[in-house]
Amino acid sequence: MPGAPLERSFIDELDRDIHSSSASSTAVFAPFTGERIHDLPVSTTEDVTDAAARARAAQSRWYAAGFDHRRRVLLRAHDLLLERRELLIDALQTETGKTRGQAFEEVFIGASTTRYYAVSAKSVLRPRSRRAGIPLVVRTRVGYRPKGVVGVITPWNYPLSLSLFDVIPALAAGNGVVQKADNQGALSILAGRRAFIDAGVPAELWAVVAGDGNEIGNAVVDAADYVCFTGSTATGKKVAERAATTLTAASLELGGKNPMIVLDDVDPQKAARNAVYACYASLGQLCVSIERIYVQRGIAEAFTKEFVARTAALVQGPAFDFTTDVGSLTLPSQLERVQAHVADAVAKGATVLTGGKPRPDLGPLFFEPTVLAHVTDDMDCSRTETFGPVVAITVVDTADEAIAAANDSQFGLNAAVFGGSIRRARRVAHLIDAGSININEGYRATFSSVDAPMGGMKQSGIGRRNGREGILRFVDARTVAGATGLMTLPRTGAEFAKLSGLMIVLLIALKAIRRR
């Protein structure tokens, strides 16, 4: 059934879930229409401190309840996410301006993440025996303890899925969470959180605060035992610097200027059809969206013709159903950035193959999906992340030239390779400097693989979310080892003189049988 903007009564309920003692609020506007959605309550630094204290108290009980209890609660939450999917999609569309299909993707990946960590946390984090330094004489085991309170700072573009990528493994490992929601994504986060609270997650265990990034974001970093940040590289560096002052570890997913390589053995029409989605999903407002395409000359004309035609044919509009292919930009600042990048490129000699203009007839923040050719290094859109519906196509002669161009960037978040031969495409993928590389897909192959780590290289971040790596962020490994009593280790000079020869023989024997 078609969706609709959120009802006022439900918005008011969600706003009360913000951890705030202040009378202050900030207006949030709908991207589709420019109308005011609500006045979001603003938190204070004291609210953050209080939320962290409450989360810390609840965390000890949550951890003590054990893996099986957490598994049951999170699996109930998974079911509630699916039951409430239409409401969650409505919230995502209302706040972000994305299409219903792309909002559905957020719910799908959020539920997948929840199920994955509910089921896998116990097996990943159970204590395990490790090889002792002196076999039979010493027994060694490694176990894990949760960090305590995890600070999560979430952006506006994918508020539900990016939240759950970090919050759920933190909870599954036995931590509490204090999350700073971006103002523009707070309702989606709060609506998703409701499913977990109703499933049995203590409300104080997962607190959500809102407000100024510098003030409230810094307070979250200061209060946390571990920090997760998703956002720009510039802000991520500031988060890392602040966390480092207290030796608080952090994972950062930052900016990208993601390349796609189209090899000359691929079907150009099929590749172009798939590439369009990789570039314009959420109107390019996704950290892993493709912004640079390098296509080999042999198929460049056919690929570009099909890519431009498919881009021009995308249905754009503010629908709360599945009748549109692309939606709106989310913030006025995004529209200004996209317009500036296109204007700069055109002024310096780039060619607009399609798009290039705002669509005020559709709504205040709509901009046409845009394809540029003849983009050069002196243009702002060449090396700086646009984070919008602007893609540059560059023709190259060889795969090596494409690889060099793809790697000629300060970023290394996501990349894609399209090729007819999977073996050849894998060889090319192996040479690309990026944390995620998709073959014959733009980003969804890796983005949806919740059992595999996701993160950036170079200026695109540190740490990994998803997979085993995604939950191991939130625990401290602890080694417990003890003597078995089979033999007493040497303590005096005389005992060392007696046993050192035997210990050398042991080392030689272990090497001979290839024991670790």
Catalytic residues: 253, 287
Please answer whether residues 159 and 501 qualify as being in contact, where contact means their C-beta atoms are separated by less than 8 angstroms.
Answer: no
Residue entry with tokens 């493994």: 169
Residue entry with tokens 């089921």: 119
CA distance 428 to 11: 48
Q: Is 485 left (phi over 0), alpha (psi -120 to 50) or beta?
A: left
CB within 8 A of 428, min separation 6: which ones? 261, 263, 399, 402, 403, 417, 419
CA distance 457 to 410: 9
Helices (H), 260-370: 268-280, 297-312, 332-347
CA distance 162 to 286: 11
Q: Is 150 left (phi over 0), alpha (psi -120 to 50) or beta?
A: beta
Please answer whether residues 390 and 372 qualify as being in contact, where contact means their C-beta atoms are separated by less than 8 angstroms.
Answer: yes
DSSP string, 313-335: T--B---SSTT-SB---SSHHHH
Helices (H), 465-492: 467-472
Smallest Cα–Cα separation from 415: which of 276, 264, 288? Answer: 288
CA distance 254 to 458: 10
3-state helix, strand, coil in the chain (%, to 5): 45, 20, 35
CB within 8 A of 167, min separation 6: which ones? 150, 152, 177, 179, 206
CB neighbourhood size of 369 (10 A): 24
DSSP string, 391-434: EEEEEESSHHHHHHHHHSSSEESEEEEE-S-HHHHHHHHHTS--
CA distance 286 to 288: 5
Please answer whether residues 391 and 290 qualify as being in contact, where contact means their C-beta atoms are separated by less than 8 angstroms.
Answer: yes
Q: Tokens in use for 328?
A: 């709106």
